[in-house]
Structure 1
């Protein structure tokens, strides 16, 4: 069955092309497996709540924008009844009933691992011709707002610039009493009754209120202005849109922006824990996160019921916390060819759960061919990064590009371009870093205060626990390019690590102890055939490499908007070193998990196509792109 929705329709209509429905929710209330809902041009201000689920990949419920028509779903309302107060400040008074049971100007940004730099923030927002405002905490701050130019990055403890300094002059403040919500805003000389002003009203734009709404396809929409809450891994994780603990969604070809916190969610729901660290305050969030994994497993967390989503070809920007978020519910998914930028740069609030993509328990998740830039952190794979492959992604101009935290592998990072000043944080073990181009700071550390789960291969079944001892990593065929004033580029931080499992076993069994003997010996690392330029430093026991500390490749990423280019120069000696194609057969198994590097279906993995999807054969050039050669290189990478 095919249903149509149009702004000229009626919910008393038949849902045909001739007599369409007026709202998407009307169609969503009756569409069943195998049906398609086609939405025609216009702005739809509603929270689409799919009622029924698809039954299989071939019997989906499809929601799509009509071909060639612009369809926008917004969580905001257009407000025109502004009253002038003084100077550039205006106000609007709305009855609380206007917001139903969800008032974003009353609800605070709240939850585990949240950091707020100054006063309490709320989930509301004000938009002038599409530009979001900043919240202030008093009426006095409305009159003379301070233009902020920089803020403290709570993770790196660095002072970083505000993304759009001029925007910080546009501020709002709200008062909520028993009957009304009054919103004040400084429009900097604009008349809000003549311009286009919107305010947040709904939590989400497209998100089922019930769990288990499987096999939904959402394609071709623009979605914006959702009052989403902070979404840590220990809480319910709603997004502007998302699957809500379901299976088999396809989210494709959408433009998604201006979510207060997260844009697309493939995360957990509240029954397995909901901000207990912040509410109960009796145990650390780490402990509640451990418990949530066991709780989820008891509640049916498995490949058969959860995950296996596809998120592709979307553009995601201007969100306060994440472009894509997901704990547990992300398992066995594929995320590719998305353009994600301007995430967590507004910095009204901060915390330890932010990134262009932030996943926990990304079991067998495949993340490839994404362009991620101008984010507080590009991609953060946290806990249970097992079977995960991060491949052929383009990272640049992020505060940090990639962070893999408290995981035991096996996971693969291959053929990526990490071009920011801070490229990689590695607080895990069991990784394989193959054919990457890494041009920024690299930090590596152990995790001896958090024992976390690992799983049977390609399963959610828990096999054991371990601390992160550091090492058990593989670095082959990478190019490292140092920067002036930036330390830590290369593999030299593995100094004194063993270089084989045999050596490790021998050293760890010299005495008759147990755990204490293993802790004293550094895990093996497997590092060979890498190139190091412009001050990048190699591992001391690397047998075969190319080191030219004085050569500066003058590496640049040139962002032309729709197209992006890589520019660099490589020395004559670059063509004297080639790398073997890595595969399951060549990559040593992971020690703690006792597992091989494989595809999600258990088949052998071959890392034999480059960043541009060109096939590699035999011994081939180092780095992510087979076209790289001595001399000048100028290559289109997006």
Structure 2
């Protein structure tokens, strides 16, 4: 096995690639340069003023270096590269902060709002109002456009008013000194809510109340005006690299379609690396087919192949990284994805730190998914095959579907060497560690499950036993749960079908033995002894006194045990790698 070689569940080595272009021409953008102008030639001495000017002229084998400053624009590439050695690159100048925002600074004559019935304002409460410039919204006004997508009319039948109201809210966002105001549904909702705003139809006036009922004078107020911040003018562009930027503030809608802050627009072979992406109304990054209503791209040279690495994605209302198909041979590596899901509408079923559909040979490695609410950490949605989720951290997640959700897959997938810590459910009997929902040939091996308190750490279930995808129903067969460690997990493993599924070599915390294991129905609650004796499961599994601690911020992990160590089972899907100890053997933490 070569250094850095990674095997996929089918035994093939993941095909890594990278930018090998020797750039023949380099343009410069510097909005703070005294001679900056889009009429310039784009040299370092005579730079462009906007990134979009460079996007108009960049051709394969060329790149632009963007110097420090704040650029309020949506960058629209019109040309892609041709190959790994003939790419187009957008680079932030090293050691300079390059911020690209889909917002404008709102400076107007703010007045106290008096023309609306706010009912009973508390003494001293102040609601301010101001008008937005019409010229900011040529072609798109997020303060007039609702979050609502007609795709979800069937889902809303049993929704609460609070969930429906989120759909009816506008897409626009307001920031005061960098801090977001909360949008409310009715004008009188401002009475009981500081730090909030309400949009007056037709989206050209905003009423807002600041924290502590402060005066807006002297504050920097920004409003989102762009749907996206980096997205090509044309679809299907390939071989584009985007490196080192701070992308902030976009007013994208709730998917589908997925039209994220940074979008490949159905393109292929993008490298999105070392960026900070935050404060999207909905999604941070999308690299898929945008929606399942578009034709599937079948040309393998023009689909997927993306590299998404070392980005920090945060504060996105619905999803951090998304892809409806068009994601084959993609790697998502060494990213931090956190504080996702503040829209609180998980039941649109398109949420997640990462949400991919119909993956083929996707490697998700070395990422941190933490502080996620109303969304699973990672969700692979139906007919995924040959995917590997390895060496990741999932911590402090509150969700119906838990940390990792694998939904209705008929082919092998592998979940190994991950740490899952402090996963909680937002509904009764929910909040899984790994939810293996109506899958075949899924392997969950050498993971550490800590403090999965509300539901099963590993659930191999038939929750969607009647759903037909790929021409048939799922069978819940040939799944394996091998060589994991379970610490403070009152519900450890569920196997909804005994036939053909295996569990062995696992190490269990002896403090959570009673009724911690389950077979075939939620009433069949077992301890380890019955699990072993009557069902032949975990013949090599043991219980021990386990102590463990994990800090999601510092990523410091400590773990020890007193007692018998289980005999680990061979995991053929790991192709030659053997470990004598349960739990992760590859993950590298501080």
Class of the TM-score when normalised by the shorter of the 2 chains: 0.7 to 0.9
Match of 2:501 among 525, 529, 536: 525
Aligned equivalent of 1:288: none
Match of 2:540 among 529, 538, 545: 545
Q: Please list, as runs of the form range in 1=range in 2, the aligned pairs for 1:400-479 lying within 5 A after superposition.
A: 400-421=402-423, 422=431, 423-427=433-437, 428-439=439-450, 440=452, 441-442=455-456, 443-446=459-462, 447-453=464-470, 465-479=471-485
What SS does structure 1 have at the residue aligned with 2:207? strand
Report the CA distance shift for 1:495/1:264 in structure 2 as closer, same or farther (over 3 A): closer
**How far does residue 434 in structure 1 lie from its aligned partner after superposition?**
1.4
Q: Please list, as runs of the form range in 1=range in 2, the aligned pairs for 1:188-207 lying within 5 A after superposition.
A: 188=211, 189-207=213-231
Match of 1:187 among 191, 210, 220: 210
**How far does residue 482 in structure 1 lie from its aligned partner after superposition?**
3.7
Aligned equivalent of 1:107: 145
Match of 1:624 among 576, 579, 584: 584
Q: Structure 1 runs of 4+ off > 6 angstroms?
A: none
What SS does structure 2 have at the residue aligned with 1:449? coil
Report the CA distance shift for 1:361/1:118 in structure 2 as closer, same or farther (over 3 A): closer
CA contact (8 A) 2:352 2:378 kept: yes
Q: What are the ranges of 5 or more consecutive residues in structure 2 without an aligned counterpart? A: 1-24, 114-124, 157-161, 424-430, 518-527
Q: What are the ranges of 5 or more consecutive residues in structure 1 without an aligned counterpart? A: 146-168, 274-291, 454-464, 499-523, 585-604, 609-617, 628-635
- Name the CA distance, whole Å, in 2 between partners of 1:249 and 1:607: 32
CA contact (8 A) 1:75 1:204 kept: yes
Q: What are the superposed Cα offsets for residues 266-312 of structure 1, whole Å, 9 maximum, x if unpaired?
A: 12146x52xxxxxxxxxxxxxxxxxx6xx31xxx3342211110000
Aligned equivalent of 2:300: 303
CA contact (8 A) 2:476 2:497 kept: no
| Total equivalences in the alignment | 502
Q: How large is the Cα RMSD of the aligned pairs?
A: 2.1
Matched, 1:365 2:356: no
- Name the CA distance, whole Å, in 2 between partners of 1:301 and 1:269: 15
CA contact (8 A) 2:353 2:372 kept: yes
What SS does structure 1 have at the residue aligned with 2:237? coil
Q: Please list, as runs of the form range in 1=range in 2, the aligned pairs for 1:370-381 lying within 5 A after superposition.
A: 370-376=367-373, 377-381=376-380
Q: Please list, as runs of the form range in 1=range in 2, the aligned pairs for 1:479-498 lying within 5 A after superposition.
A: 479-483=485-489, 486=490, 488-490=491-493, 493-494=494-495, 497-498=498-499
Report the CA distance shift for 1:15/1:607 in structure 2 as closer, same or farther (over 3 A): farther
Q: Please list, as runs of the form range in 1=range in 2, the aligned pairs for 1:86-485 lying within 5 A after superposition.
A: 87-111=125-149, 112-113=151-152, 117-119=163-165, 120-145=168-193, 169-177=194-202, 181-188=204-211, 189-232=213-256, 236-269=257-290, 273=293, 295-296=295-296, 300-347=297-344, 351-376=348-373, 377-399=376-398, 400-421=402-423, 422=431, 423-427=433-437, 428-439=439-450, 440=452, 441-442=455-456, 443-446=459-462, 447-453=464-470, 465-483=471-489
**How far does residue 22 in structure 1 lie from its aligned partner after superposition?**
0.3
- Name the CA distance, whole Å, in 2 between partners of 1:24 and 1:361: 34
What SS does structure 1 have at the residue aligned with 2:551? strand
Aligned equivalent of 2:13: none
Q: What are the superposed Cα offsets for residues 374-418 of structure 1, whole Å, 9 maximum, x if unpaired?
A: 113100111122011100101111012111111112101011111
CA contact (8 A) 1:33 1:59 kept: yes
- Name the CA distance, whole Å, in 2 between partners of 1:54 and 1:190: 50
What SS does structure 1 have at the residue aligned with 2:541? strand
Q: What are the superposed Cα offsets for residues 431-473 of structure 1, whole Å, 9 maximum, x if unpaired?
A: 01111112323234212222112xxxxxxxxxxx221122320
CA contact (8 A) 1:481 1:489 kept: no
Report the CA distance shift for 1:496/1:184 in structure 2 as closer, same or farther (over 3 A): closer
CA contact (8 A) 1:88 1:143 kept: no
Aligned equivalent of 1:39: 66
- Name the CA distance, whole Å, in 1 between partners of 2:335 and 2:228: 21
- Name the CA distance, whole Å, in 1 between partners of 2:329 and 2:63: 25
Report the CA distance shift for 1:578/1:136 in structure 2 as closer, same or farther (over 3 A): same
CA contact (8 A) 2:461 2:495 kept: no
What SS does structure 2 have at the residue aligned with 1:553? strand
Of the structure 1 ranges 112-121 and 433-442, higher mean CA displacement relative to structure 2 is found in 112-121
What SS does structure 1 have at the residue aligned with 2:188? helix
What SS does structure 2 have at the residue aligned with 1:141? helix
Match of 1:572 among 535, 558, 563: 563
TM-score by length of 1: 0.75
